[in-house]
Amino acid sequence: MNIIMLGAPGAGKGTFSAFLEERYSLPHIATGDIFRENIKNNTELGQKAKSYMDQGLLVPDELVVSLVADRLSKDDCKAGFILDGFPRTLVQAEALKETLADMGAQIDYALDFECPDDFIIERMAGRRVCKGCGASYHLVNVPPKQEGICDVCGGELYQREDDAPETVAKRLEVYHKETQPLIDYYEKEGVLKCVDGTIGRDNVFKVLAEMLG
Q: Is 52 in the site for ligand AMP (CB under 6 A)?
A: yes
64 touches ligand AMP (CB under 6 A): yes
Site string (5-44) toward ligand AMP, x via CB under 6 A: ----x---------------------xx--x---------
The strand ranges marked E within 64-177 are 81-84, 109-114, 127-130, 136-138, 157-158
Write down the least CB distance from residue 52 to ligand AMP, Å. Answer: 5
Query: Within positions 166 to 195, which residues make up the interface with ligand AMP, using CB under 6 A?
Result: 171
Q: Which of 88, 123, 127, 128 binds ligand AMP (CB under 6 A)?
A: 88
Neighbours of 173 (CB within 10 A): 13
Q: Residues, the chain, total?
A: 213
- The values of phi and psi at residue 108, to 5°, are -95, -40
Under rule CB under 6 A, residue 4 binds ligand AMP: no
Is residue 128 involved in binding ligand AMP (CB under 6 A)?
no
Contacts 24+ apart (CB under 8 A), 194-197: 194/112, 194/114, 195/16, 195/111, 195/112, 195/113, 195/114, 196/114, 197/7, 197/11, 197/12, 197/113, 197/114, 197/115, 197/119
Active site residue 36: no
Interaction between residue 123 and ligand AMP (CB under 6 A): no
Q: Contact with ligand AMP (CB under 6 A): which of 3, 5, 59, 172?
A: 59
Which residue in 48, 50, 160, 170 is the catalytic one? 160
CB atoms within 10 A of CB 140: 10
- As a whole number of angstroms, the distance between CA 187 and CA 167 comes to 29
Query: Is residue 177 annotated as part of the catalytic site, yes or no?
Result: no
| Residue tagged active-site, from 36, 123, 127, 128 | 127
97 annotated active-site: no
Give me the residues that bind ligand AMP (CB under 6 A), please: 9, 31-32, 35, 52-53, 57-59, 64, 85-88, 92, 162, 171
